[in-house]
Amino acid sequence: MTAVVEPVARLAALPGVSTASRVAEQAEHARATGRVLPVSPALAGLLPDAGLRRGSTVAVHRSPSLLLALLAEATAAGSWAAVVGVPSLGIAAAAEHGVEVSRLALVPRPGAEYPAVVAALLDGVDLVVTEPRSVRPAVARRLSARARHRGTVLLTLGPWPAADVELHCVPDEWTGFLGSGAGFLRSRPAEVHARGRGSAARPRSVSVALPGPDGRALPVEPLAMPVGLPLQRLDEEAVG
């Protein structure tokens, strides 16, 4: 038991993280701030409440950029987030996508204590991000039930048995510009498709730049879709 209690106690000492003893305070916070956390207007059309409903589980398939884009607006508005068991997601990438990193806690490798660590964070922050590499279905369902009870949004990078909404991202070619012998990537258009259960049962889709030129998700208009020219076309024009 000590092996589990000590890491949970360390998590409780992090700014913005509380434990079950403060559930009543967190519930009051949820009532004061509303039941839906904001997302970028470019992504609002994917979700039945035009935002992340507290207590819901959202599975993001194969797109770290989309997952970070979902965190950006909420953290900018004052919500706290934690990333557990996703060592590939770091502070630099989060900041580039518009996440307020001063309100982001990272627990990249929780090890065997994973369920206890995720449960503790679900008690104390507004959004918890995780990756279901080896999570047993029964554990996944218990964690989703805890998120629902605590009013926390659980975001997963990959499929999750108890997901309320599933988001699939289909990226297009990167766009960018070539300089004198060098160039850089600026933006990447993508189609994002949503499906789920209950109020999310109706399929939805949006076209977005993910990321946009400033790193944030932006809506893509049919006539304004290319922020730059596709790199392949630029190469062909340079050769010609």
Domain boundaries defined on the chain: 2-168
pLDDT in the model for residue 19: 44
Is CATH 3.40.50.300 the classification given to domain 2-168?
A: yes
**Neighbour count for residue 75 (Cβ, 10 Å):** 22
Residues in the chain: 240
The whole-number pLDDT of residue 31 equals 42
pLDDT > 70: percent of the chain: 71
Out of 53-57, 74-78, 94-98, 168-172, least confident range: 168-172
Instruction: Tell how far CA 221 is from the center of its chain.
Output: 24
Sign of CA dihedral 101, 131, 68, 203: negative
List, for residues 133-147, the tens digit of each pLDDT value.
778 999 999 999 999
Provide the angle, in degrees to the nearest 10, between the axes of the packed helices 114-124 and 23-33.
Answer: 50
